[in-house]
Structure 1
Amino acid sequence: MYQPDEFALTETGYRGPAPSWAPATPALWIVDTRQEGERAQRLAPGILDAEELERAGRLVVEADRLCYTASHVALRILLGARLGVAPDAVRLTRERCPSCGGPHGRPATDGGVHFSLSHTRGVALLAFADEPVGVDVERAPKARTVSEIGDQLHPAERRELADLPEEQRPAAFVRAWTRKEAYLKGKGIGLAGGLSHDHVGTGPRPQPGPAGWTVTDVAVPAGYAAAVAVRTAGQPPAHDDERRK
């Protein structure tokens, strides 16, 4: 399990180390968006671009607005530190989707750093690596949510959930969900890639694979679950017929 670094802002910005990592080993940062949200909001006009500021402004619920702002301010600050440029000079783009070719694949920057961002109310998680990487953090769901969407998982994962006492299913479900979404985000296809195709497991530790990827849980506060997936160094993207069924 990865232990992420904590990201904290000062009144004038972030003062800390730039992301660094070994080959195929992601660097991870966690942001307490409740604690950092107001500072991030004050810094945002000088860091975020017009599209990000507009999107944040459209969020009606303050907790959501602060979460979005804090996570994107942190992303630009950390990317800027890694690339050696000012946060507002970081150029964010989208790669083409490997499934349909549309302009909604992995987020990217022209500096060659692979990164991924996930946030849910109260917590944001960021990952940086020298290979494609995906990260996901989620709040623990209610039992009703598990019963409504648990059948979207891999058949083996559905059996694993069915074998558990009902009170243990939400934690097991969200472990599988975050592992799978991290992997699919790393591939650049998101949930459109299908949650039923690859077996990552619902247990305390992820199952090996999918082929060419390493999936690892991430330590986050109680009430949340998180995972990171990084492509094995030197491995080409897996084709659909190479994925675990």
Structure 2
Amino acid sequence: MYSIEPVPLPHAGPSDIFLWRVDFVFDASLDNAAFVPLSDEERTRAGNFRRHEDALRFASVRVALREQLARYLGIAAHAVRFTSDANRRPHLADSNALDFNVSHAGAYGLIAMSPERRVGVDIEHHSDKFDWRSIAALTLDPSEAAWIERLDVEQQLAAFYDAWVAKEALVKTTGVGITRGLQHLTVLPRDSVEVMLRNQIPEDMNEIAARWIAAPEGYSACVAWSTKTFAR
């Protein structure tokens, strides 16, 4: 029987952050028993995707998320209930015991979870057909764009995606994100796995940290978290 077993991933962040990779099997059917934990609303959402691959990405990550949350909470996967806050960020409906975040792109998904702090995660697939300069003004600080331009051509795309995933993970951790746009976060140049916020740090990023994580070839990924833990 087909099953969805996420792969635990090592990372350089706090030990209370749990991170998994979900590997997609695109010839799987949504009628498979592995997708039984999905709610009716989730099945409807999956069915609204035009492409089977997109439906499978959503459904696979949601099942894997349900399974991990259920193990921590000590309940059945189908019993996990979700709701969303005013900014449409999902969270548990019946408990504040855990924060979580997900991302998916190409053949992989990521899940981050912590009982101690807010988390954010992002993964992106490098597309050779993508012109990073077409959205540089919306995603990069001018100094970052200039730094990328000085790299060898074959390194430029990976550097752009490194910046993109770091900024997305940071913004997803806040739950609100910076209102001025991603271009007002500066994370390049990159000189280690630690994401260094350079120049002036936006107020809503003062208590957020991040690390780039190992990703399959042709992908970039990052996990972020609040340095301040939950008040209990």
Query: TM-score band (shorter)?
Result: 0.7 to 0.9
Q: What TM-score do you get using the length of structure 1 for normalisation?
A: 0.77
Identity %: 33
Show the counterpart of 2:73: 83
Q: Does 1:180 align with 2:167?
A: yes
Q: Does 1:62 align with 2:52?
A: yes
How many residue pairs are counted as aligned between the two chains? 215
Deviation at 1:151, TM superposition (A): 2.1
Instruction: Select which of 219, 223, 226 maps to 1:231.
Output: 226
Show the counterpart of 1:107: 90
- From the superposition, tell whether residues 142 and 126 of structure 1 become closer, same or farther in structure 2 (CA, over 3 Å): same
SS in 2 for 1:196: helix
- From the superposition, tell whether residues 79 and 39 of structure 1 become closer, same or farther in structure 2 (CA, over 3 Å): farther
- 8 Å contact kept, 2:117–2:230: no
Instruction: Select which of 29, 32, 36 maps to 1:46.
Output: 36
- 8 Å contact kept, 1:134–1:186: yes
Show the counterpart of 1:208: 196
Between Structure 1 and Structure 2, which shows a larger proportion of helix residues? Answer: 1
Instruction: Select which of 111, 119, 123 maps to 2:108.
Output: 123
Deviation at 1:44, TM superposition (A): 5.3
**Distance in 1 (alpha carbons) for counterparts of 2:227 and 2:191:** 22
- 8 Å contact kept, 2:6–2:20: no
Q: What TM-score do you get using the length of structure 2 for normalisation?
A: 0.81
Report the residue type matching 1:201 in the other structure: L
Where in structure 1 are there 5+ consecutive unaligned residues?
1-9, 98-103, 237-245
Deviation at 1:50, TM superposition (A): 1.3
SS in 2 for 1:34: coil
User: Pairwise CA RMSD of aligned residues?
Assistant: 2.8
- From the superposition, tell whether residues 38 and 192 of structure 1 become closer, same or farther in structure 2 (CA, over 3 Å): farther
Q: Does 1:156 align with 2:146?
A: no
Where in structure 2 are there 5+ consecutive unaligned residues?
198-204
